[in-house]
Structure 1
Amino acid sequence: MWLRAIPVTEAQWGDYGDTISLLAGDLNERVPAVKREIEGKIIVPGSAGLVQSLLNAGFVDAINMIIHPVILGSGKRYLDCMTANKDLKLIGTQLYETSGSTRLRYEVVK
C-alpha cells in the first residue's frame, strides 16, 4: 500500500469517528501490528488489489461477495493474481429479491 498514514474521520460510506485509518508500509508488518492494536474486525470494502494481497499473505479470515445478475463480455477479474488456491467454506447466504443479487459469506479455510 502506498498511501500516507492519515486518520480519516468520515468516509464516503459513512461517519465512523476515529475507527478508520489509511495505512502505509509493508502489509506483512502493518496488518499484524494493527491486529494487535485494535479489538474487532478489519474490514476492506472493495479494492480487488488489496484483497488479493491480503489473501495471498494469509490475513483474510472471511469473504463477503455480492453476485449481481449481469453478464459482462469483458472486464477485470476480481481475484486474478492469486499466488495459491484458497479453500472457502460457505457460512451464509442472503438473496436480495428486488435486484436478484445474492450475498455469499465464506470463511477462509486455514
Structure 2
Amino acid sequence: MNIIKITLLSLSMAANFGLCSVTAMAAETTASSSVGVSETISHLEKALVEIAKSDFNTAQVHLKAARTSGEKITGNETIVKQAGALVIQGQIKAKLGDIKAASEELNKAISLYKSL
C-alpha cells in the first residue's frame, strides 16, 4: 500500500512540475518577444534621426542592430518578415543617400512592428 501511495505522489509531483515549467517557458517567450519589438523600434527611430541628419554611418549601425534584434522577434511571421524586408529596403536606400525613401520604408517597418 505504501508503494502505491509513494508512486502516485511522485507521479503527481512530476506532472505538476512539468506543467509549471511549460507555463513559465511560454511566459518567458512572450516577455522576450515584447522586449525585442521595443528594442527594434528604438533602433529604427534612432536610425531615422541619424538619416534626417544625413549621418548615414551611424544610421547603418542602428539599422544593423535593428535587423539583429528583429530576428529574435516571435509572433505573426508574415508581419515580422514584411517588417524585416522594409528595414532591409530602408537600409539600402540609406546607403544610396535617399533620405525620403529610406525614411518612408523605416516608418512603415515601425508601424508593422508596433502592430505586433
Same fold by TM-score greater than 0.5: no
Greater helix proportion: 2
- What's the TM-score, normalizing by structure 1? 0.23
- What's the TM-score, normalizing by structure 2? 0.23
Greater strand proportion: 1
Q: Which has the larger radius of gyration?
A: 2
